[in-house]
């Protein structure tokens, strides 16, 4: 039987961790959406050097373990005088990492819009950016939302990497409570439940959006 007393006694710590996990996830999501969109545009813009930068970003970041990227922000950058607290370093690492995946999702969404759409828009005299904005992106969004939702779920789970650098998230407080109480199993079960509280609604939400977008043309 689970020892709910642990949950009750350390509710404040759990809540602190839960709050930081949400905060890190939301901040990293916003940041990675912005950065990922820019990288995606770099990858598909009709300008070669930008393509290279975009591709290099995606390939490097995607193929390095997340923990390593977080270490760069937490221990690498301080070596050249840029210092972050552990929460900030973790969130930045999370953002940079997730941006690579979001960029790929957005890129493939844009490229899934039939070529004729861009041709029709450009041949009517719209500029590349206008064609993107009014014709391509509104169609790409529908394609991109489900994979983006999945990336967000991954992001929430990946935020546990903050625990490794004492980033004040759920995982960190789980470790803390466990070392205070010498209880492992129960403590981490509760941690897992807190993650599920976040990810299950997200997962259901993504499924719902997916079905709705399928219906809408």
Residue 5 or 123 with smaller CB distance to other proteins: 123
For the chain, the 3-state helix, strand and coil shares in percent, each to the nearest 5, are 85, 0, 15
- Residue 123 contacts other proteins per CB under 8 A: yes
- Residue 110 contacts other proteins per CB under 8 A: no
What's the min distance (Å) between Cβ of 13 and other proteins?
48
DSSP code of residue 165: G
What's the min distance (Å) between Cβ of 143 and other proteins?
12
- Residue 127 contacts other proteins per CB under 8 A: yes
Phi, psi (rounded to 5 degrees) for 47: -135, 110
Find the binding residues for other proteins in span 141-170 (CB under 8 A): 142
In angstroms, rounded to a whole number, what is the distance separating the alpha carbons of residues 75 and 77?
6
- Residue 134 contacts other proteins per CB under 8 A: yes
What's the min distance (Å) between Cβ of 128 and other proteins?
9
Phi, psi (rounded to 5 degrees) for 10: -110, 25
Q: Please name which of 39, 41, 169 lies closest in space to residue 97, comparing C-alpha atoms.
A: 39
Interface residues with other proteins (CB under 8 A) are 114, 116-117, 119-127, 130, 134-135, 138-139, 142, 217
């Amino acid at each position: 039987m689970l020892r709910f007393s642990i949950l009750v006694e350390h509710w404040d710590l759990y809540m602190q961790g839960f709050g930081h996990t949400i905060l890190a996830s939301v901040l990293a999501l916003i940041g990675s959406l912005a950065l990922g969109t820019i990288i995606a545009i770099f990858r598909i813009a009709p300008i070669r050097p930008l393509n290279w930068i975009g591709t290099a970003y995606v390939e490097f970041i995607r193929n390095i373990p997340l923990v390593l990227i977080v270490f760069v922000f937490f221990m690498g950058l301080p070596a050249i005088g840029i210092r972050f607290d552990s929460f900030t370093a973790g969130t930045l690492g999370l953002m940079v990492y997730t941006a690579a995946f979001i960029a790929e999702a957005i890129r493939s969404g844009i490229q899934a819009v039939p070529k004729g759409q861009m041709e029709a828009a450009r041949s009517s005299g719209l500029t590349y950016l206008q064609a993107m904005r009014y014709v391509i992106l509104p169609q790409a969004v529908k394609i991109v939302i489900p994979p983006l939702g999945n990336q967000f779920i991954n992001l929430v789970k990946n935020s546990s990497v903050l625990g490794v650098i004492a980033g004040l998230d759920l995982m960190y407080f789980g470790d803390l409570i466990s070392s205070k109480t010498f209880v492992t199993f129960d403590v981490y079960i509760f941690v897992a439940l807190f993650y599920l509280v976040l990810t299950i609604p997200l997962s259901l939400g993504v499924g719902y959006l997916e079905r709705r977008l399928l219906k809408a043309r």
